[in-house]
Amino acid sequence: MSIEDYGGGQTPRADVMVVTTNDVPGYQVTEVIGEVFGLTVRSRHLGSQIGAGLKSMIGGELKGLTKTLVETRNQAMERLVDQARARGANAVLMMRFDVSEAADVGTEVCAYGTAAVINKS
């Protein structure tokens, strides 16, 4: 797998800017819309669980699970951006991820932040 399989984030000219900071240099926050989030829950199939169990005995990266988590985080972020856009925002400030187990059947990934309208200063 290439490095593109292990990354995420936005395209350079996204219509909704997502940042992990409280503000964006060169921009002024003109409206705070409120909290937005994108949520997804993924289960692992039996083959990947068996493979991960065997791999964990000898050590090393679980590449299949890594790729699945990247895809899951990207999907959560896409849903976050969709929700922000639907509420009229052009930015999400203080974006974070929360990851937890969901009832022992999968992994829950939530991307969340504050939807806002920003304008160039």
| pLDDT of amino acid 90 | 97
Q: Rounded to an integer, what distance in angstroms lies between the CA atom of residue 46 and that of residue 104?
A: 13
DSSP reduced 3-state for 45:
coil
pLDDT bracket for residue 66 (50, 70, 90)? confident
**H or E element that contains 71:** helix 63-86
Contact 66, 52 (CB under 8 A): no
- Dump pLDDT digits (tens) for 5-15: 666 777 767 89
In the predicted structure, residue 47 carries a pLDDT above the cut 60: no
- For the stretch 71-82, pLDDT in tens is 889 999 999 999
Q: Give the number of other CB atoms < 10 A from CB of residue 88.
A: 11
Q: Mean pLDDT score of the chain, rounded to an integer?
A: 84
Distance CA 50, CA 67 (A): 16
pTM: predicted TM-score of the whole model, two decimal places: 0.80
Q: What is the pLDDT of residue 63?
A: 76
pLDDT of 101 reads: 85
What is the average pLDDT across 18-26?
96
d(CA 80, CA 61): 28
